[in-house]
Amino acid sequence: MRMMLHEESVVALLSAILGSSALGGIGGWMAQKLKRYRHMVTSDDLKPIEEKLDKDYTHFTDIDKHLNALDRSTTEIMLINLRQCIFANPHDRNAEESILQSGEEYLRLGGNGVGHIRLNQVREDYAKRLECDDWDYTPGHHPGEGSES
């Protein structure tokens, strides 16, 4: 006896196969969405943090004031050190060039007054030495005073 499938049976069988895979796909998609939703951060979750930050804002302002004061103090210390470098007596060309670099940094940081005057003197002295190619730093010697290079 030969068994024949009826048209309705074939349609039912195909519907069952296709339906089960589609249902599985939809079920997987819904499971993924639910998992993501469980780990989602909402604005209600962030409100306690926002309130804490609002309370501590004055603390951050105080920290900013302390940091600004520290920056000003650091700049003042750097200006003092650079001023000492500017007023040093150079003993060779390298030292004089170092004074010039210190002077440029001194001006960049806002230094002025006698440090600025001294820097101009060192610039003029360096220009004379460069022009005469006279790098004799013996005490009392002035560039271009008949010394041999």
Over residues 89-144, the pLDDT tens digits come to 999 999 999 999 999 999 999 998 899 999 999 999 999 999 999 999 998 888 87
Average pLDDT, the chain: 82
Verdict on whether the full-model pTM lies above 0.75: no
Kindly list the domain boundaries of the chain, sorted by start residue. Answer: 53-143
Residue 32: which pLDDT band, with cuts at 50, 70 and 90?
confident
Closest CA to 120 of 136, 103, 143: 103
